[in-house]
Amino acid sequence: MDLDIFEDMNKEELQSYIKFLLWNYRVMDAFWFIKTTEKFDQATAEKLNEEVWDTVAGHAAKDLKEKFDISKNGLIGFVQALKLFPWCILVGYHFKEKKDEVILTVPSCPTQKARLKRGQKEYVCKHMHKKEFESFAKVIDDRINVDCIFAPPDPHPDNMFCKWRFFLSD
């Protein structure tokens, strides 16, 4: 990897490039899903999405732990790592941290909002995110449990697309 181009960039230019990378990451994921749906069908795209994010999330957690020296386990290490995960930054996860659990909410999901804006129904993301969060959490601490309170296709309030609970098993 040749990173020489970044040597002369100032903070604003680097931040602008990070925004570009995150946007590109989201667009690539969106078109991957759209093209898979067109080539096969919605159910196949959703199933493949589950498999991809199950794998990607575990690799991301491992890399984040190493690159950002995340040594804490449990819910503290999980939240510390997840806040660095690109989707957390792109979507704007909200965290409510308690001693024995973490509640994650998504007030505004850009993916689902884009689908609704195009006149499409929400896609089933619950199973994909469950696998994604479980894979990510297991790398941080295999005692972390993931409980979906609601996520599409579940009914949800207008001001929140999904809600998740993370807690430690004994």
pLDDT at 76: 97
For the residues 59-67, what does the mean pLDDT come to? 98
Range of the domain at 163: 45-168
pLDDT in tens, 140-155: 999 999 999 999 999 9
Decide if pLDDT at 93 tops 80.
Answer: yes
In a domain, 38, yes or no: no
For the residues 6-30, what does the mean pLDDT come to? 97
Does the predicted TM-score (pTM) go above 0.75?
yes
Structural domain count of the chain: 1
Decide if pLDDT at 170 tops 90.
Answer: no
| 119: CATH | 3.30.1380
In a domain, 103, yes or no: yes
Among left, alpha and beta (phi > 0; psi -120 to 50; other), residue 141 is beta
For the residues 12-38, what does the mean pLDDT come to? 96
